[in-house]
Amino acid sequence: MSSALAVYLTNEAPAAHWNPKSNVVFDGDAAKIVLVDDESENLRRIQKAGRTLDNNGLVKVAVSGDGWDMERQWALYQGFTSTLSKNDVVWHTGDAEAAKHLDAMRDATRFSRELTNLPAEDIYPESLAERVIEHFKGLAPDAISAEFIKGEALKDAGWMGIYTVGRASQHAPGMLVLDYNPTGDDNAPVDTALIGKGITYDSGGYSIKPSEGMLSMKCDMGGAATVTGALSLAIRRGLNKRVKLILCCAENMIDGRAYKLGDIIRYKNGLTVEVVNTDAEGRLVLADGLQAAGEFGAKNIIDAATLTGAAQMAVGNEYNALFSVDDSAAARALKNADKEHELLWRLPLASWHSENCPSAFADTANSRPQKGGGAGGASNAAGFLLRFAPEQGKGWLHFDLAGAYQKSATAMWATGATALGVRTIAATVQGD
């Protein structure tokens, strides 16, 4: 304990030699976080204090004194977490049950963040699948089986979205199907399918991104990392339902085999899609995942993706965006986000959004031929996915992860992945 800086909570205003707006002050070999009357603001103040402690060069702190509940400790951890995950928080010794839950959240979100933050040289479709399989076989070895369909086998299986987007890369595209089945019954129904966009690097293809836009595109598999972390956390919390994890993995690169604007993709369900923007590739791979979820007969379907800049423009980098045509499913997700203290906002999605990317040459286009997909880009992207969602979208939730990655450090977050959404999706998988 002596190697960690003790961090206390206080309701006393800072001493006169401190700025009265300071949210954390140092007092000898300890730090004190100054609270206010608003608890939601307190959680923000505590997280910001964690960033201050990290910025001051600390690598280990200990939660000390009175007033710490689980959420306050978690807020400190989120702020204090460094980009390279080298910082450590010692949980309060007075609440063993809270420490158990905090350990589960820390381990699951750390894995999610590490997957997202690793460079594309290390995380490509097959290596992503290998790391995820290894993680779950270490976590629940008797309940896990997995298959990775890659390269030409994708084409043979009819998964043309993933195949088309990823065929230009030296790293073969693939679909990981991981089955978590704790029931012991091979015929047990699939309660939930979790689908993640696993674009391990996104150059934009022939609709190429500018250099500054490509710098952070190792994070375009943040959806895959988020649903992976969510399943990991749900298992640690005692999940006893069968869940299929479907990761749609590809590098969106350019060579002589790359898909081009004007190409037509024919999907397994017969739908044809004209490519009007090769940088709107995430929805093309998720379409395969949604069809796979339908084949598995999943009762509930959740997909997560760093899908559109339009969602970020709408909700900023502090929230994730939620889309669904199932009001009861959306209400459950929003309730869980509130319970888990994660920011989530529902944006519009109606059945007619699926018609908002018309094509003269195919059933639909993958976007509009305008910058960012034009007005309503995030809803139109969700509308595209709705075409592939089983049961006309009943039981389906689409998370557009606007808050999954910070390109630079903020007052709340270190640079890189945040794992925002892991807790909400884990709670939604577990159900009431």
pLDDT at residue number 371: 78
- Give the pLDDT mean for 104-132: 97
CA–CA separation, 295 and 284 (whole Å): 18
Quick one: which H or E segment has residue 150? strand 144-150
Residue 104 lies in a domain: no
Both 425 and 318 in a single domain?
yes
- Answer yes or no: is pLDDT of 268 > 80: yes
- Give the pLDDT mean for 194-209: 97
161 three-state secondary structure: helix
CA dihedral sign, ordered 52, 55, 58, 60: positive
Contacts of 187 (CB under 8 A, 6+ apart): none
Both 248 and 329 in a single domain?
yes
243 three-state secondary structure: strand
Both 28 and 137 in a single domain?
no
Written in H, E and C, the secondary structure of 7-23 is EEEECCCCCCCCCCCCC
Both 87 and 124 in a single domain?
no
CA–CA separation, 292 and 306 (whole Å): 20
Into how many domains does the chain fold? 2
As a whole-number percent, the residues of the chain with pLDDT over 90 amount to: 91
- Answer yes or no: is pLDDT of 259 > 90: yes
pLDDT at residue number 161: 98
pLDDT at residue number 2: 57
Show the tokens assigned to 73. Answer: 């400790």
- Answer yes or no: is pLDDT of 15 > 90: no
The position carrying tokens 């910058």 is 371
* Residue 288 CB neighbour total at 10 angstroms: 26
Which residues form the domain of 62?
A: 5-94
Confidence of residue 264 (pLDDT cuts 50, 70, 90): very high
Both 85 and 115 in a single domain?
no
pLDDT at residue number 401: 98
Residue 125 lies in a domain: yes
The CA-to-CA distance between both ends of the chain, in Å, stands at 38
Contacts of 127 (CB under 8 A, 6+ apart): none
Active site residues: 209, 283
Which residue among 70, 94, 118 closes a domain? 94
pLDDT at residue number 1: 45
Confidence of residue 374 (pLDDT cuts 50, 70, 90): confident
pLDDT at residue number 237: 97
Both 178 and 233 in a single domain?
yes
> Is the distance from CB of 226 to CB of 401 less than 8 angstroms?
yes
Helix/strand/coil percentages in the chain, nearest 5: 40, 20, 40
Average pLDDT, the chain: 96
φ, ψ dihedrals at 165, nearest 5°: -65, -40
pLDDT tens column, 277-315: 999 999 999 999 999 999 999 999 999 999 999 999 999
Residue 13 lies in a domain: yes
- Give the pLDDT mean for 203-210: 96
Both 231 and 87 in a single domain?
no
CA–CA separation, 261 and 281 (whole Å): 12
CA–CA separation, 312 and 306 (whole Å): 10
Confidence of residue 217 (pLDDT cuts 50, 70, 90): very high
- Answer yes or no: is pLDDT of 13 > 60: yes
> Is the distance from CB of 242 to CB of 187 less than 8 angstroms?
no
Q: What is the DSSP letter of 127?
A: H
pLDDT at residue number 311: 96
- Give the pLDDT mean for 257-271: 97
Q: Which residue has the higher pLDDT, 3 or 403?
A: 403
- Give the pLDDT mean for 3-32: 90
pLDDT tens column, 324-363: 999 999 999 999 999 999 999 999 999 999 999 999 999 9
The residue among 137, 166, 129 whose CA lies nearest residue 151 is: 166
Both 391 and 313 in a single domain?
yes
Residue 105 lies in a domain: no
Q: In what order do the strands lie in the sheet with 364-365?
A: 264-266, 272-274, 364-365
Q: What is the CATH number of the domain that holds 292?
A: 3.40.630.10
Show the tokens assigned to 5. Answer: 């800086």
CA within 13 Å, CB half, 418: 25
Contacts of 429 (CB under 8 A, 6+ apart): 191, 192, 194, 230, 231, 234, 239, 241, 243, 300, 302
- Give the pLDDT mean for 116-144: 97
pLDDT at residue number 16: 81
Both 124 and 268 in a single domain?
yes
CA–CA separation, 5 and 63 (whole Å): 9
